Chains A and B, each alone.
Chain A
């Protein structure tokens, strides 16, 4: 036990690194999943607690103004609002376990359905932004690290500094103004077609025009959401590469006669990417937060926009549903990232 913890102390970017040394991958996964379940329970509980202390009678929020007292009472009874708080909590928890997130107070629709229908748009946006980020950032980071203190390095540094310092809602508005309104390169309204529909059209009619429309509409939001991550990954890649390049094995492989390009991309970049992966896993929350903003700026029909609508209407079941869904996504992605990390790290033996 003691030795394990000492390892952990070596690295402040710890979560996985070191802590699970000498643990099998299977055991490691079981442990991570149990932790994940705990985290999701924690999120559900905090959201329930917030709802419990939030001002305003839910029955009044559900009903139109001027509803009779009898009607309010009826709704309170039906919704279980007259039960003691712990009964409400366990009912709520029970519902969550079986995937019953309740009904939206505002529209009276099932929360699950309202969440699920908005997932594709957000996933499309998040994936597009991540692709933008990776495609730009990794080459930029590599160039920056291998040509240190040259103009291309300064350019990349300046770009990444601007990228992490620009609020994405403002960036989005400026992109709309400059590329959308002034240059007329991109449409600025709400998108007419989603990816699913576009692919369906392509499959049925063979016409890719919907795909092009989709691409034109997603370009600015993806750049808006992706810029911060582009900047972040550029910085991480640069500093990681700089560290790696100074290690003895680089000199050794070059001395052995391996071409510099091979060493750089096959060994150094790979070793650099492993810790970056963990940091990025933890950034999924930032990505989701960014999606909320980006969707608001571009009126993008995703989960984030729905969350803001729910907040404005104080529609708690919907808000809780979306937040819990985001937490589940965060936890799952991080478990996958950790598992990848563990399987890449030779120190985690799998017997």
Chain B
């Protein structure tokens, strides 16, 4: 399926340019962060109430700020300093920003990967069938795709979540269950509806690409040969058309992980997520205290940017190595 030529192209592009190396390094670090979040975290990310003695939020280590606190029935000004207990400070409900930053990576990557898989699972079969059979089947499926395209992905996602609710799914954490991390939550909530919905609103890009591939492959000599030997349509689709359309689908899938991470963050920012661990949700929460405690919004945003950049760099690498014609699709 992955030919020698593809492998050598990938290697060559990787060694020639700095960007794929940065992308891969970034992605591995974020994956590491996400996987071992319970071990790397210093506090339970959901535990609230980490305040200073004066009852104020901690700024990041090495920083200080002045705030008003109520003490003995009076309001007084105090200067609060960062503490090594909370290296990146605490948010406005007194949760540890650093620990939440780590857990946020889990939500982003999980939704990005699962959501993209959803979109591939719907879009690729639809596109292959449309392109391969052509005619009415193609017209029908592509008109449905047109309707999907007319909805802004975010707007349709919002409407769908509005209807079906957020339904967070509690996923047990194997690292905590194995006893490797004390005092961390045994399960974390994954935004259930969001994961499905982001797939439902982005499959159409995969359908378009898969269709284009199927359209050109179905007239190739080897497909004609297979047909003349009496191979069924199913066999041709699964043995010839699918494997030969994989390259642009893989490129698109990589780029789409980035798109879906951004989409999930946007939904969480708007308050439609189902988990408070999402980076997007944390940015929204920090918005209320943006002027006085900017670190609450700043750090999760940096997390999103880094995650998306790493995936985009990887996507660019694949695209440059495999398929230079895909630029611009699916964004």
**Complex: how many Å from CA A38 to CA B134?**
20
Interface locus among B95-103, B113-121, B258-266? B258-266
Interface residues of B in 298-313 (CB under 8 A from A): 298, 300-301, 304-305, 308-309, 312-313
Tell me, in angstroms, the Cα distance from A288 to B149 when the chains sit together.
Answer: 12
Give the residue name and chain of the B residue nearest to A243 (CB): B324
Evaluate whether A286 and B312 lie within 8 angstroms (CB atoms) in the complex, with A12-B326, A173-B301, A323-B155 already known.
Answer: no
Q: Which of B35-43, B56-64, B181-189, B287-295 makes up part of the contact surface?
A: B287-295
Query: B163 touches which one: A50, A167, A176, A239 (CB < 8 A)?
Result: A50
Q: Which of B158, B213, B248, B326 has the most CB of A within 10 A?
A: B158
Could you say which residues of chain A place their CB within 8 Å of the CB of B258? Answer: 164-165
Q: How far in angstroms is the closest Cβ of chain B from A160?
A: 10
Shortest Cβ gap from A34 to chain B (Å): 11
Interface residues on B, range: 35 or more
User: Which residue of B is nearest A169, CB measured?
Assistant: B269
Cβ contact within 8 Å between A162 and B134: no
Task: State A12–B146 Cα separation when bound (angstroms).
Answer: 15
Tell me how many residues of A have a C-beta within 8 Å of chain B: 63
Question: B252: nearest residue on chain A (CB-CB)?
Answer: A12
A282 contacts partner chain B, Cβ-Cβ < 8 Å: yes
Distance of A175 from chain B, by nearest CB (Å): 11
Task: Indicate if A199 sits at the interface (CB-CB under 8 A).
Answer: no
Question: Given known contacts A54-B163, A165-B308, A169-B269, is B331 in contact with A232 (CB within 8 Å)?
Answer: yes
B153 touches A170 (CB 8 A): no
Given A12-B329, A39-B150, A285-B151; A173-B158 close (CB under 8 Å): no
- The residues of B that contact A54 with a CB separation of less than 8 Å are 162-163
A-B contact pairs, 11 of them (CB 8 A): A39-B146, A39-B150, A161-B313, A167-B301, A167-B304, A176-B290, A279-B329, A286-B152, A296-B270, A326-B152, A331-B150
Identify the B interface with A (CB < 8 A). Answer: 19, 134, 143-144, 146-147, 149-156, 158-160, 162-163, 165, 208-209, 212-213, 215-216, 219, 248, 258, 262, 265-266, 269-270, 280, 283-284, 286-287, 290-291, 294, 297-298, 300-301, 304-305, 308-309, 312-313, 324-329, 331
